[in-house]
Structure 1
Amino acid sequence: MSGPGPKWVRVSVLLAVLVGVVLWGWGRQRTRAQRLAWDRTLRVAVVLITRDEVPAPVREAWREGVGQLEDWVGREAARYRTDLGARPISFELEGPVNAGTVRFEEPEQGLWARLLQARRLARELAEVDRAAGVVPREWDARIYVLLEDGVDGQRLVEGMGEEGGVVGLVRAPREDTEVTLELTAVVHEFFHCLGVKDAYDAEGHARVPEGLVEPERRPLYPQDAAEVMVGEVPLGEAEGRLPGSLDEVGIGPATARALRWTE
């Protein structure tokens, strides 16, 4: 991402460490197909995890932000389909839960190492679920948000999502009350759970056309909004800035097709 200012590192790797490789593949395809039928409101738990006290203004920012995220999804869905209702997705905030042992790491190399990592992470998240009163079978997906202190003053938001699965992970600053990037990361990782793929290049910039909200725009740049599977408002080729609010985040035609909101 070019230019000065806050940094949002997008990881969004497949969390094969959570699923035991291909053993659950058929079941995941079936679960994904059921969710993409859009015949009911999908329920997503957004579970805040912390190692330290979360300031009250931050908790309030998250509470308000999750409500805004529901409204945003409803508006974006209505641009493509009129039969989904005002709340195609319900995001419900849980926590914060104090869970000092939880570690979000990139997948290990090698099958055995991944399986051991999967077992550890599954055990840690099960403890989080119990503490938060979250029953996994009652949710279409759970997005766990680890709130922690920043590094060297940087505003770092990163995430990992299980493609076609039920779990996403996000790391975010603990004292941040401007949570646009965090909310974008939450829905980004949930869309991974629905099978939607990233739409940015190796440098984090939007790929054309799938990484644009308005790929038919002329002139093409600057775009007005960041595609949710990119997270950057394109200002030119290989150039962009972070969105300042959810009003500057959108769902482009490629993502809408992957969500089965269009033919």
Structure 2
Amino acid sequence: MTQPRFATIRLLVLLACLVVVGFTALHQRVYSRNWNQTLEAVVYPINGDDHLATNSYIQNLNSDDFAIINRWGEREAERYALALPTPFKVTLGEQISNLPPTFPDKANAVKVLIWGLRFRLWAWRNTPDDGGLTRVRMFVVYQTGEDNKALQHSLGMQKGLMGLVFAYSLHKQTAQNNIIIAHELLHTVGATDKYNAYGGPLMGIGYANSNRIPLYPQRNAEIMAGRIPTSSSSSYMAESLRSVVINTYTASEINWID
């Protein structure tokens, strides 16, 4: 009789955990998308290649390096007449010494689920005092790029309000790093990617202004595409958030417009 009773207790504990996780996710989704108050986002830098140059870059970071993201958010919020003048505030947090779990190669649904659980556990262990349930945590893994390896794909997760960004520890890359951070930040509040399998902007929904006449060249990039189209088959990466906008498709997804 002891074993069945233990199994029942274990099942009840599991169900309770699922209820708590579900309630937490719902609370985060509602809070982060109601735009009644500024959404706090903290950047936690990580030395991804153990390079001295990367460590020097991180040590010289401060919250001012991310202030353009806040000003960009204010500019875009004003364009959509959002009642909240400052939709999000990005600040610098403490450096983290432990690397996050590696995203699996050739990932299937099960591998992604397991990785997601490991990542959440890693995040909890490294940022136990993250400000509660309604602060976005952006973990930014910096590396010099001297090994000529392409950066891993960055991720933004609405469940858990977390982002994992891979960026270069080069001052000339800081402006484009901020585009990626802003992109992943918007993922956490419901925005979806708007680029194709080759990285180019999707026609229409991936354009800053799909009604522009003539259509090409576009003057700006859409934040969830990141590139400025010059024709139906060519585009280039925006240099900074000054030439990046939130189009109506993304504005609708993040609940800025109906």
Unaligned 5+ runs, structure 1: 1-19
Residue 45 of structure 2 aligns with an amino acid whose one-letter code is L
Name which of 28, 32, 35 aligns with 2:29. 32
2:246 partner amino acid:
I
Q: How does 1:38-187 map to 2 (within 5 A)?
A: 38-51=35-48, 52=50, 53=52, 54=54, 56=56, 59-60=59-60, 63-85=63-85, 87-99=86-98, 101-106=99-104, 108-111=107-110, 113-114=111-112, 116-129=114-127, 134-137=129-132, 139-150=134-145, 152-153=147-148, 156=151, 158-187=153-182
Aligned AA for 2:94?
A: G
User: Which of these residues, 231, 235, 242, is aligned with residue 230 of structure 2?
Assistant: 235
Point out which structure has higher relative CO (alpha carbons under 8 A, 6+ apart). 1
- Checking the alignment, whether the CA contact within 8 Å between 2:203 and 2:232 is kept in structure 1 is no
SS of 2:73's partner is helix
C-alpha distance in structure 2 between counterparts of 1:118 and 1:244, whole Å:
31
- CA RMSD between the two structures: 2.8
Q: Return 218-227 or 143-152, whichever deviates more.
A: 143-152
Write the letter of the residue equivalent to 2:186: F
Range moving further from structure 2, 232-241 or 159-168: 159-168
* TM superposition shift of 1:58: 5.5
Computing the radius of gyration from Cα coordinates, the structure with the larger value is: 2
**Residue 142 and residue 256 in structure 1: after superposition, are their counterparts in 2 closer, same or farther (change >3 A)?**
same
Aligned mates of 1:185, 1:22 — CA distance in 2: 33
Answer whether contact 2:195 2:224 (CA < 8 A) is retained: yes
* TM-score, normalised relative to structure 2: 0.80
**How many Å separate the matches in 2 of 1:116 and 1:37?**
30
Q: Could you tell me how far apart the structure 1 residues matched to 2:230 and 2:59 are?
A: 33
Is the 2:156–2:184 contact (alpha carbons within 8 Å) kept by the matching residues of 1? yes
Q: Which amino acid aligns with 1:125?
A: A
Q: CA deviation at 1:61?
A: 5.6
Are 1:197 and 2:189 an aligned pair? Answer: no
Contact 1:45 1:139 in 2 (8 A): no
Contact conserved, 1:146 with 1:171, CA < 8 A, in 2?
A: yes
- The 3 A distance-change label for structure 1 pair 182 and 215 is same
Letter in 2 for 1:72: W
Instruction: Indicate the structure with greater helix content.
Output: 2
Contact preservation (8 Å) 2:178, 2:240: no
1:60-110 Cα distance to aligned partner (Å, 9 max, x none)? 46633311110011001100015221x2101111133322x4334147435
Counterpart position of 2:217: 222
- Within 2, Cα distance between the matches of 1:176 and 1:128? 26
Structure 2: where are the runs of 5+ without partners? 1-16
The total of aligned residue pairs comes to: 238
CA contact (8 A) 1:46 1:94 kept: yes
Query: Could you tell me how far apart the structure 1 residues matched to 2:150 and 2:58 are?
Result: 15
How many angstroms apart in 2 are the aligned matches of 1:116 and 1:145?
A: 21
- TM-score, normalising length: structure 1: 0.79
